[in-house]
Amino acid sequence: MQNNNKSYKIVIIEPSMIISTGLRKLIEMKNEFEVVAVIADCFHCLERINHLNPDIIIINPSAVELKKRQHLEELFEGVKDTAFVALVYQYIDPEILKQYHTTIDIADDGDKIAQKLLHSIDALSAPADLLDKNELSEREKEILISLAKGKINKEIADLHHISVHTVITHRKNIIRKTGIKSVSGLTVYAILNNLIDINEVE
């Protein structure tokens, strides 16, 4: 575990004031944590979060716009060295939850929440092969397919309505997860994993 003498800065993104207030009180009963902001939704929150530089962001996934829920990295592009924790009290697609370092359940007590928050910090700094993160996300598969079709970064960015920087980040993640650096090798990988038909390759 990390050094408990440090106070980790936390931002909570939760639309319910009752839930966010209760969660904040439970968290701040522990000396390791400081809640620096509570935000009701994800609209226009990125600039504020960047200014606060939190160690942990606790998010109710339902507070994220539906079409953005599966692209957490893109939503918080520019937020570095921060653990993402899902606050769950209703059904959330498991594929969405895979993006988070851990989850907090509405029934968790203060000790359990503190344990999970510390675990999220550990997970953030753990080697990738210890985190079960080797499976490509849906967005990474989309980027890989575009690469296999011969598209360059700018074309991929335009196609998926993301920045070139985000495309490059996805490419780095794909290389890390697959261990394949060349586009030709990634194309073969995509074909062998039935992500693309060989006839689609340019």
pTM of the model: 0.62
Q: 24: helix, coil or strand?
A: helix
Q: What is the pLDDT of residue 6?
A: 62
CA 74, 77, 81, 86 torsion: positive or negative? negative
CA atoms within 13 A on the CB side of 24: 16
Report CA-CA distances (Å) from 45 to 39, 120, 123, 136, 151. Answer: 8, 22, 24, 28, 33
Q: What is the pLDDT of residue 85?
A: 94
Which amino acid appears at position 148 of this protein?
A
Spans of all domains in the chain? 8-130, 138-200
Of 63, 50, 68, nearest in space to 9 by CA:
50
Q: What is the pLDDT of residue 8?
A: 94
Q: Which two tokens stand for residue 87?
A: 């606050």
Q: How many CB atoms are closer than 10 A to CB 126?
A: 13
The CATH architecture to which 138-200 belongs is Orthogonal Bundle (1.10)
Q: 46: helix, coil or strand?
A: helix
Distance in angstroms (rounded) separating the CA atoms of residues 161 and 138: 15
List the chain pLDDT tens, one digit each, 202 residues: 444 456 899 999 999 999 999 999 999 999 999 999 999 887 767 778 878 889 999 999 988 877 777 778 777 877 888 999 999 988 888 778 888 888 999 889 999 999 999 988 887 766 554 445 567 888 889 999 999 999 999 999 999 888 888 899 889 889 888 888 888 889 888 888 888 888 777 6
Q: What is the pLDDT of residue 1?
A: 45
Q: What is the pLDDT of residue 26?
A: 95
Correct CATH for 8-130 of 3.30.70.250, 3.40.50.12280, 3.40.50.2300, 3.30.70.20: 3.40.50.2300
* Contact of 56 with 9, CB cutoff 8 Å: yes
Would you say how long the chain is, in residues? 202
* Contact of 195 with 141, CB cutoff 8 Å: yes
Q: What is the pLDDT of residue 17?
A: 95
Q: What is the pLDDT of residue 130?
A: 45
In angstroms, the first-to-last Cα distance of the chain is: 49
